[in-house]
Chain A
Amino acid sequence: MYLALKEIRHEKLRYGLIVSMIVLIAYLIFILTSLAFGLAGENTQAINSWDAKSIVLNKDSNISLTQSIITKDQAKDAKLTSKEAVIGSTPVVAKHKGKEKISASFIGARKSQFIIKDLKLTAGHKARNNHQIVVDEKFKTDGYKLGDKVTLNSFKDKYQIVGFTKNAKLNVAPVAYGTVSTWKYLRGMPNAAVTGSAIVSKNANYKAHSSHLKTYSMDKFISKLPGYSAENTTFGFMIGFLMIISLVLIAVFLYILTMQALPTYAVLRAQGIPAKALVSTITSQSLVLMASGVLIGAALAALTGWMLPVGVPMAFNIPVLIWISIGLMIMGVIGAAIPARKIATVDPVSVIGG
């Protein structure tokens, strides 16, 4: 460590350039990871808040909540306990005179079941009739307030915003919670013998006992949300590739620096300095460079997150970012392996006889 720190301190420009490259890569990884989590969160925030383990959909719905309809006949044998809740989902556009239109997901649910019972409000109260809704705070940031009466899609009926809730987004759209009757009305089948779009359950093994219905795990359901898997795979690929770039970068830089310093290492070996001490120098150097780059990159990413507008979906998942930082450090150690091997095998005889 002694030599590592002394060399870095002496060659500030050289090592500063390496650190700046690592900073940029770490920054990009942190931003992309936070964006990936932010976007994933906006796809699933509402689902996560329900804390449900499984979902029953019409088996012909292609695992799509908005395509699924469960009739009363299909649901007649489904036992609904306190762990189950019926929901109806449909996309809507909320409008209010003088305010921005908002594309939202309407979720109709029964107030006696856990989705509405467990709903946490940041302001107002829960819907008490078919013309009241509780909406995600995105509405508030877009200028909507309690008491505003909005229209949904092309219907003339007005729905009063009576409450706000946070972290309620589904497929990136803010959720408007209302009643199942309102959902049926918005789907254009107010009097149809329909139960809802789905039955969600906190029981992973819940069965609806109908050949027309199928139970899916919540993870499977989430993975089938439109664009969800493609988005996450793309982010995963970019982050993985950046990790590999960081590995190559540190390996190339350290290799070049080691090759330049090889005669000095050979002299030190001739003087009896153990190879282990010299190998630990290059490994420590790599760790110091990576740690500096990661810390500065993390600080810049946090600053960026703080400065970005609220609408940019960034979520800093600290445990994941810590794991990524550890991953980058490991990349640094792996990157130092090639130059370390070069040092370990340097022939001290090469410097005798000039």
Chain B
Amino acid sequence: MAVIELKNINKYFGSGISKVHVLKDVNFAADRGQLILVVGPSGSGKSTFLTIAGGLQTPTSGSVEVEGNSVENLSKAQRDKLRLNQVGFVLQSYNLVPYLKVKEQFDFVDKVKHQGNLSKEGLKGLLEQLGISELINKFPGELSGGQTQRVAIARALYADPDIVLADEPTAALDSQKVAEVGKLFKDLAETRNKAVVVVTHDLRLLDFADKTYEILDGKISLKDKEHVLDR
């Protein structure tokens, strides 16, 4: 069973003559252990797709299911809980609380989510896997872009979510760092059995994806790597 599934999603913004059909009959599914890319140019609807998948917005029509449970009927507080427990977000910027040291970013998660987080040993293993064990006493402002993204990934995985949703995680990274992050996402998906969905326009990540979806003008379709590169 897919861990997250979007069925016949439509999303409109505005009304009357300014009404825009942003997502058109979107069908999407992600399984555990897979890294799935959703690529597309700016304005194609990628961000709207991500916010609906993560329960930050509700679709105009269609349904989102996480582990077989419908999301759109959940209250705001229930959706907060869903994101806290089952969805890990890795965002383009402002991922980390600037005045918390790396280790305190995880302590803060413990303060708001008392159960289901990684154990001390689990966190140690995750930090080692991400190569950031030596950074735990640093503030985000003392980290490089690549290190910040790795800590943000660790922060997202610390709550042990089923799904990781990443928004342009390789923006502003050089090709070597992009390759590192791509490999990391793929490893994490496989070794930790997560569904990792990366929304990006960075085609350098294609090599690491198990599946690639393309969004164009609000329509999503499953594509192979060569097709995406040809466009």
Query: A residues engaging B (CB < 8 A)?
Result: 2-3, 6-7, 9-11, 263-264, 266-275, 277, 348-349, 351-354
Query: B residues engaging A (CB < 8 A)?
Result: 46-47, 50-51, 54, 56-57, 77, 80-85, 87-89, 91-95, 97-100, 104, 107-108, 111-112, 139, 156, 167-168, 171
Since A273-B80, A353-B46 are in contact, a sample of 17 more A-B pairs with Cβ atoms closer than 8 Å, ordered by chain A residue number, is: A3-B100, A263-B93, A267-B89, A270-B83, A271-B83, A271-B84, A271-B156, A272-B87, A273-B112, A274-B84, A277-B111, A277-B112, A349-B57, A352-B47, A353-B47, A353-B168, A354-B93
Contact A270 B89 (CB under 8 A): yes
- Some 15 contacts from A to B, beta carbons below 8 A apart, are A2-B108, A3-B108, A264-B98, A266-B94, A267-B91, A270-B83, A271-B83, A271-B88, A272-B83, A277-B111, A348-B56, A352-B91, A353-B50, A354-B93, A354-B167
A248 CA to B81 CA, complexed, in Å: 35
- The 8 Å CB contact of A272, one of B81, B99, B100, is B81
Given contacts A2-B107, A349-B51, contact A354 B100 (CB under 8 A): no
In the complex, the chain A residue whose C-beta lies closest to that of B156 is A271
Query: Which residues of chain B are within 8 angstroms of A263 by Cβ–Cβ distance?
Result: 93-94
Contact A11 B99 (CB under 8 A): yes
Query: Which residues of chain A are within 8 angstroms of B94 by Cβ–Cβ distance?
Result: 263-264, 266-267, 351
Contact B54 A270 (CB under 8 A): yes
Contact A270 B91 (CB under 8 A): yes
A291 CA to B50 CA, complexed, in Å: 43
Given contacts A273-B112, A348-B56, A354-B92, contact A268 B80 (CB under 8 A): no
A11 CA to B85 CA, complexed, in Å: 31
Query: Which residues of chain B are within 8 angstroms of A354 by Cβ–Cβ distance?
Result: 91-93, 167-168, 171
Query: Which residues of chain B are within 8 angstroms of A2 by Cβ–Cβ distance?
Result: 107-108, 111
Query: Which residues of chain B are within 8 angstroms of A10 by Cβ–Cβ distance?
Result: 98-99, 139
Query: Which residues of chain A are within 8 angstroms of B87 by Cβ–Cβ distance?
Result: 272
